[in-house]
Structure 1
Amino acid sequence: MSEAERLNAVGAPGGTGKAVEDYAELALFINGRFIGSGEGRKSQEVVNPATGETIGRLPHATVADLDEAVRAASAAFADWRRVPAVERGQILRRAAELARERAPSIARGITLDQGKPLAEALGEVNACSEHAVWHAEECKRIYGRLVPARQAGVRQLVEREPIGVVAAFTPWNFPFNQAIRKIAAALGAGCTIVIKGAEETPSALVALARLFQDAGLPDGCLNVVWGVPAEVSEHLIRADAVRKISFTGSVAVGKQLAALSGSLMKRATLELGGHSPAIVCADADIDAAATLLAAQKFRNAGQVCISPSRIYVERAAHDRFMDTFLDRVRGIRVGDGLAPDTTMGPLTHARRVRQMTELVEDAVNRQARVECGGEVLDRPGYFFAPTVVTNIPDSAYLMTLEPFGPIASVTTFTATEEVLTRANSLAYGLAAMGFTSSPKTSQALSQGLQAGMVSINHWGFGAAETPFGGIRDSGWGSEGGIESFDGYLNTKLVSETY
């Protein structure tokens, strides 16, 4: 990248001096109480990834805090499970209203500790309020059924009952989105929940605790804890009262938690990593496909589990695609998320910057070509230039390991059967995309792509009413859609004489 390109990409700094003063007061939330540092609790710094500056301190839960959170959730479950679904829904609706009212301040906190542009953070809060609304309505439709008996005088009922206390774990890339999905599903089903968010991006979850409390949620139904991830997760999963695990994060950690929860016969929903293929056929609207893929690939600096990270373009359309795609990528303005003209913020961790460098170096060593970007930006914070790599072999790390950053890999194909084999060659199976004007090819792609979610000719993921989840190494179960409650309910047969 030339100096002129670098200056164009970086944009103006956001000026975070006053912003740090506005950052949320961080705390645990247990049995209706916000608990700060003190009483022997450890704490850790929270850093603004756009500047590298400390903006807050987050208290860690002690073992006694974790036990109290589980006890509070267990005690609250005895009453909450009997609250009519209509009343549970009213609280969820009120929480959604408060989230929209407070969206500007919540979004500002997300930008400060996670890094994404303020417009993206605001969109995350507003859009994800719909999850609370949807679950408020759908929880009224948790129906049982009557099964005709084989003998007179017998009635057979199938009932759905809340499973109990939920232990949930959410990641740092969408701190509001991932938390509200789990909270709304658990509470809507009649469960109570202890949730641990990502320590790097805590403000959104603390804000969620405050708005659910203000919405009238009884004490103990929602509890928020922080700490060393491996220690907190093992302690909560092993707690006798916890009956359900919900985790969003990496494949490696997900497998560890799955093994632990399975050994204890506890149900788990796991939404793990992805390495999403996007197939662009020569008969597609090439400009539209390139524009959409550029926007979605570099959203949240590429730190998105369903990001289109392996782009396969039919050879005949490659040059047309690259002209538009590179034009869109070079127009991205990188900077502090609080700056009004920023369209891509920093990576959330310094370690992500190092990983991007290693991925590019490996690709270049395998004769790939860097079309733009490919380097760390020389400024404070954790910034990596929007990068496009072509002529990349399928064996490169960029094509086999989830990059989770602002690097797009573009390669060519010649036949549908060939590209489907390549797209399905990894153990991931979260999301996949296809672009074509042919109904026959569309059907071949939608049926042939092995993923929990497939979208053709548009971006169709993440709505509250649709299931979100993967297959194979990308996870078990779904969040969203009518499937959302499945992991939070037990099925009971009642067969009785009359």
Structure 2
Amino acid sequence: MTQAYASDLALFINGSWRMGEGRDALAVLNPATGAAIAELPVASAADLEEALAAAQAGFAEWRMVDVDTRGAILRKAAELIRDRADRIATLLTTEQGKPVGEARGEVVGAAAMFDFYAEEAKRAYGRVLVRPTGQRAMVIKQPVGPVAVFTPWNFPVYLLAKKLAPALAAGCSVIAKPAEECPASTAALMRCLADAGVPANVAQLVYGVPDMISRTLIGSPVIRKVSFTGSTAVGKHLMRLAADGVKRITMELGGHAPVLVFDDVDLDKTLDMLVPQKFRNAGQVCVSPTRFYVHERIYDAFLEGFAARTARLKVGNGLEPGVQMGPLANPRRPEALTGLITDATAQGGRVLAGGEAYGEGFFFQPTLLADVPDTAAIMNTEPFGPVAVTRPFATLDEAIANANRVPFGLAAFAFTDSLRTANLVGDALEAGMVGINSFAISFADAPFGGIKESGFGSEGGPEGLESYLVTKAIHQA
């Protein structure tokens, strides 16, 4: 154990924090050292059945709580999250690896989610239909029911808040299954909700064997809606499970974001934006810029500037001052990246910076690959790590074709000083979100979601609340 970490990891079921008590346990690792720092209790079948029963009872009660009261509780939760942000950020960095400044930004972003949906819930409007005198017809919105949410390890606090806030605001009860790699930070978020006054049976938190938990929760008739953020492969599996019960689903799946860089940009200014964004959270971001298509007239200068900036990044333990990139979150990632880079260089790609795992823990050098062919695996598989791959293009049509070539469509980016090019690219890119001269695409008031194999449904904005509501038409003669 370390003083910076939590020694009381637990499940949260029906208002009770459940620690070991004879349960199986999983080791939690510090990615900066590779050492085990705690043991996480694993939910049993009995735990899950109790959580389901609580969620069913909690929904019956919570849906009847007026929207102003629900909103006040969510605003209190946001206040507590901000008050505890430093502590939660330290927990997050210790178990996930990102620099503590990035972790604190994530926590503050989570608080913003609760503030937004505390107010947005008041705007779940229906409508009155035109009917003959003496008749009435109306459309109303109601909470869908108990919800199972599954979140990954790359932004464990923010992505959990992104699901909990609209679900609770809508009047749903929730059973959350965050990633087992990051239990302390997600439990700290749940403590804020409990301390803010969310009823004991309305929000549950479980960890354990992912397949067992997903099959149990999604297979239960109690659960009416499933929300998942993670890989496309796992998302397809959960969709199959949900199909048997015709469950409503929101899927935010993998991406492989292209970046188009045109020759009319201020190159130094653009590179100063691109490099930090590529290596934010060690590239473990579903919308991380990864496939860089650069106009051939500026390609060589782009590579030189990108490589120089990459080499200057300070990599280390995220709790240390000045660190710009931490380790990867788990031991699977360095191995996967090594394989992708080996394949790319075997097919003619050039390593201009980084390219290797190193040191204790799960560190990987910030990496730049040039001239990577479309046949390389890394051009078709999301690397989910600190690797940028580049190729030149000659025409706008070629750039668009390259960007849209893969089956993913979560985010895409373009950099140009031409308004006409910006308009054409914004229309043509096949992605749920497009950033033009900006990477700022994730806000509480804006929809976030993909197309093609990057999923469907949106989180954030009014669309995020809508996904936890059902529409009912009432006709009265």
Shared fold by TM > 0.5?
yes
Contact 2:235 2:251 in 1 (8 A): yes
**Are the counterparts in 1 of residues 2 and 37 from structure 2 also a CA contact under 8 Å?**
no
Instruction: Please state if 1:293 is matched with 2:274.
Output: yes
C-alpha contact (below 8 Å) 2:303/2:370 kept by paired residues: no
Contact 2:70 2:118 in 1 (8 A): yes
Unmatched tracts of structure 1, length 5 or more? 1-15
Match of 1:69 among 33, 51, 57: 51
Name the aligned partner's letter for residue 457 of structure 1. N
- Provide the rounded CA distance (Å) in 2 between the counterparts of 1:354 and 1:209: 33
1:261 match? 242
Whole-angstrom CA distance in 1 between matches of 2:28 and 2:93: 12
Q: Does the residue aligned with 1:292 lie in a helix, a strand or coil?
A: helix
Match in the other structure for 2:151: 170
Q: Is the CA contact (8 Å cut-off) linking 1:135 and 1:184 kept in structure 2? A: yes
Contact 2:156 2:185 in 1 (8 A): yes
**Superposition RMSD in Å:** 1.1
Indicate whether 1:23 and 2:10 are aligned.
no
- Seen in structure 2, the aligned counterparts of structure 1 residues 17 and 165 have a Cα distance that, compared at 3 Å, is closer
Query: Residue type of the partner of 2:197?
Result: G
Tell me the amino acid that sits aligned with residue 97 of structure 1.
E
Q: Work out whether 1:284 is the aligned partner of 2:252.
A: no
Tell me the secondary structure at the aligned position of residue 58 of structure 1: strand
Partner residue, 2:93: 111
User: 1:6 maps to what in 2?
Assistant: none
Give the Cα–Cα distance (whole angstroms) in 2 for the partners of residues 434 and 37 of structure 1: 50
Tell me the equivalent position of 1:478: 458
Q: Which one of 307, 319, 324 corresponds to residue 305 of structure 2?
A: 324
Given candidates 58, 79, 86, the residue that maps to 2:40 is 58
* Mapping 1:445-456, distance limit 5 Å: 445-456=425-436
Do 1:24 and 1:109's aligned partners in 2 also have CA atoms closer than 8 Å?
A: no
CA distance in 1, matches of 2:419, 2:187: 47
Identical residues among aligned pairs (%): 47
SS of match in other structure, 1:304: coil
Structure 2 distance, partners of 1:450, 1:406, is 24
Q: 2:63 aligns with which of 66, 81, 87?
A: 81
* 1:130 Cα deviation from its structure 2 partner: 0.5
- 1:203 paired to 2:178: no
Contact 1:291/1:324, CA 8 A, preserved across alignment: no
Q: Distance in 2 between matches of 1:466 and 1:327?
A: 35
Amino acid at match of 1:419: A
Match of 2:377 in 1: 397
Identify the match of residue 220 of structure 2 among 239, 242, 246.
239
Q: What SS does the aligned partner of 1:332 have?
A: coil
Please give the residue correspondences for 1:153-232 in structure 2 after superposition, counting only pairs within 5 Å.
Answer: 153-232=134-213
Q: 1:110 and 1:273 mapped to 2: Cα distance?
A: 22
| Letter aligned with residue 243 of structure 2 | G
Partner residue of 1:36? Answer: 19
Query: Using the alignment, how far apart are the partners of 1:17 and 1:467 within structure 2?
Result: 39
1:139-154 paired onto structure 2 within 5 Å: 139-149=121-131, 151-154=132-135
Q: Is the 8 A contact 1:467 1:482 kept in 2?
A: yes
Preserved CA contact (<8 Å) 2:221 2:245: no
Find the aligned partners of 1:143 and 1:413 in 2 and give their Cα distance.
48
Q: Is the 8 A contact 2:106 2:158 kept in 1?
A: yes
Looking at structure 2, the residues matched to 145 and 25 of structure 1 have their Cα atoms a distance apart, in angstroms, of 49
| Deviation, structure 1 residue 327 | 2.3
Contact 2:29 / 2:95 at 8 angstroms: preserved in 1? yes
Tell me, yes or no, if the aligned pair for 1:23 and 1:112 is still in contact at 8 Å.
Answer: no
Cα distance in 1, alignment partners of residues 14 and 257 from structure 2:
40
How far has the Cα of 1:487 moved from its partner? 1.6
Instruction: Choose from 375, 384, 391 the match for 1:411.
Output: 391
The answer on whether the counterparts of 1:163 and 1:490 sit within 8 Å (CA) in structure 2 is yes
CA contact (8 A) 1:89 1:137 kept: yes
Q: Distance in 1 between matches of 2:192 and 2:98?
A: 22
SS of residue in 1 equivalent to 2:459: coil
User: Within 2, Cα distance between the matches of 1:157 and 1:249?
Assistant: 38
Q: 2: distance between equivalents of 1:423 and 1:33?
A: 49
How far is the alpha carbon of 1:24 from its aligned partner? Answer: 5.1
Q: Residues 434 and 456 of structure 1 are in contact (CA less than 8 Å); yes or no, is this contact kept in structure 2? A: yes
Which residue identity lines up with residue 441 of structure 2 in the other structure?
A: F
Q: 1:435 aligns with which of 402, 415, 440?
A: 415
TM-score (norm 1): 0.94
Per-residue deviation, 1:127: 2.0
